[in-house]
Structure 1
């Protein structure tokens, strides 16, 4: 039986506030690396567009192991995994500035760092999404996800500017050290959370096999009329984002002729949309219905990507800024509404497995997109690849608008 803090508002929920603080602090550092890692390849190692895209592929490729990770995470204490993943990411990322200081940094190392940190990202994300419903009640899930998304987006808003400034002041490889420190702090915060929430975790029955647990998680997601279209839309959105992000930094530097500091400032400006989406998501869901918010969030990816594709060196700041604001709104609305629906529908014993299914069959579309995006840029050019990304970005809303999801008024209560 899980232990949940009394219903008194999440700002007074000490352990949730530790999770909230850890999410915000690590998000600041991650935004620095999101900018500094590809810029290390571009500015220090003079990598090609395809080589830079391969870094994004390596970061997200471990999502294909999401289902297997979910099975394992339904058997162990999720908080311990979150702490280990934080400390592991800190160590791996710290290797970049160390290698740079000794003059031995190279592309294979960047790929290895991206791959290992990506694997730890998967473990942390699945564990944290499965852990949240153990800390807060079902009726608090939207509020909890709103607050977590708000902290993350606020951090993302300042992160790129900090990253751009650090790259300018201390070089791209050294800037990554800020992310390593952020993960150390996050791990310490999560380590200070009470362990009572998983005190009732029961061992896996001897007759249960890994294969049967895998099948159970997959069957649950694909047989549920709300989860199935959410997964398909999630997959298409990640495919589009992969196409886009694979070449975004190279496109900004070489086509739009933007500096690292300017790119960081634009990305920070764009996160204002994400912050607005996080702040108002709950109120919008109450008035318009959770289902309509989900549909709207997926639709906004299209216009956002189109603005990025149409930008020129003269209009870059306005077009990229507006595009990033729209995409921030879309991602925040989705993160709050769709994630809350999934967490509410899934029984606690299947939380990690269903998150793993989403990672493997949904989020793993991102590395596929990065590979295709890098290939398109190499074969046809950066501008042409961005246009393809914009076209694909109009597809994600189709599965949910044709499903029962669009009619949801509030978060359902089907979990047991």
Structure 2
């Protein structure tokens, strides 16, 4: 059997030390996230310039998220059955071709709306493959004692490269022409191919063990078992319900965010990049704050409080037209969502048996990422319909007002149940820390 980092000699240093193969993987992930950040601002902006109506912009945004809805569960099963590094390489080669293609189509004037939708969907599919595959591949290049540190570095690179670096770079590159961000990203993505080829040479093989317990005939049964676990466990079901609502409502806001910034706030591409970057900062603060606040008996009130912040900030965005106030409110909303997601992750990990964690995690990724695509389409459609009755600025505020009111209503009707179930789970699972799985 091929040696893995879990079995390898660690005499050269502590087992937590991250070796050269990890840093090549981290570099590839960082460049990939940088491209995602550029695309997150460039593709919606290009769409808004070529097809300036809410439904078109939200359709492209939703197409980029839809693969999380369609592929999250099957990709989770597939990665247990094939070489994860091969999946990373195929996803990366596809990205290079797509970035180059969209740049050429923009230069030649052939970037129609259907083409933009297909490109966004395909890029989203490669994101599901690459990001999920990289996380699953990490134990191949990192000793088990270093996994927490390794995952922490990957998460940090996702935020720093994708949000803090990628979005401003994308906004700046748009100033040189609509095709420039895509051409530059195609070149940077080509570097990832070299990094992955190096990993192929020096890292242990990650070919799946065909003699293991995973059988191809059990794929559907495995998926059903994961869904059943979420439904049977009360705390998981309650968290799933709250996740669905926040995903759809937040997606409805994100789907028209570019047009909202242009029409309501009067921003240009760079000002939009600043808004998105500050929002990402809010998400970082929210995720870090969650680790400090969501401890012991503070878990239930902490989750309830972050949802109150989300409802208030989204409603505020529906009323304001002031740029800097909107920047602050977007940061609060993003921070509340990040805070909530960290809390959900911690609770579901604690409530889920070890043998179900992969599948239950895929279910929640589907709910938190996939259903945001539905929200984006609904947000764009709502704004489109509203334009028949009100001016464009008022119509673009509607999804934000709906989000604030809807979550306020959820808290009034079901907030006690969320509090009760999370507090009850905490009360039932009091045991020494070293008995819990991370």
* 8 Å CA contact retained: 1:235, 1:363: no
Structure showing greater Rg: 2
Q: Which of 151, 154, 163 does residue 170 from structure 2 map onto? A: 163
Q: Which of 404, 417, 421 does residue 403 from structure 1 map onto? A: 421
Whole-angstrom CA distance in 2 between matches of 1:186 and 1:297: 38
Q: Which of 309, 315, 320 does residue 311 from structure 1 map onto? A: 320
- Secondary structure of 2:42's partner? helix
Aligned ranges 1:295-334 → 2 under 5 Å: 298-312=307-321, 315-316=322-323, 318-334=324-340
Partner of 2:389: none
Partner of 1:49: 54
TM-score by length of 2: 0.79
Of structures 1 and 2, the one scoring higher in RCO (CA 8 A, sep 6+) is 1
Change in Cα spacing, 1:219 to 1:113, as seen in structure 2 (3 Å) is: same
Q: What do you get for the CA RMSD once the two structures are aligned?
A: 3.7
TM-score by length of 1: 0.82
- The number of aligned residues is 411
Of the structure 1 ranges 270-279 and 381-390, higher mean CA displacement relative to structure 2 is found in 270-279
Partner of 1:216: 225
- Secondary structure of 1:55's partner? helix
Partner of 2:204: 196
Structure 1: 5+ residue stretches without partners: none
Whole-angstrom CA distance in 1 between matches of 2:195 and 2:296: 35
Aligned ranges 1:2-401 → 2 under 5 Å: 3-4=5-6, 8=14, 12-43=18-49, 45-62=50-67, 63-132=69-138, 143-155=149-161, 156-168=163-175, 170-193=176-199, 195-196=203-204, 198=206, 201-203=209-211, 208-278=217-287, 282-284=291-293, 298-312=307-321, 315-316=322-323, 318-334=324-340, 336-339=342-345, 342=348, 352-380=358-386, 381-394=395-408, 395=410, 398=415, 400-401=418-419
* 8 Å CA contact retained: 2:141, 2:204: no
Question: How far is 1:135 from its partner?
Answer: 6.1
* 8 Å CA contact retained: 1:83, 1:188: no
Change in Cα spacing, 1:218 to 1:374, as seen in structure 2 (3 Å) is: same
* 8 Å CA contact retained: 1:59, 1:114: yes
Change in Cα spacing, 1:331 to 1:282, as seen in structure 2 (3 Å) is: same
Whole-angstrom CA distance in 2 between matches of 1:15 and 1:346: 31
Cα shift readout 1:164-194 (whole Å, capped 9, x = no counterpart)? 11111x2233212344344444454455446
- Secondary structure of 1:32's partner? helix
Whole-angstrom CA distance in 2 between matches of 1:159 and 1:39: 14
* 8 Å CA contact retained: 1:242, 1:370: yes
Question: How far is 1:39 from its partner?
Answer: 1.2
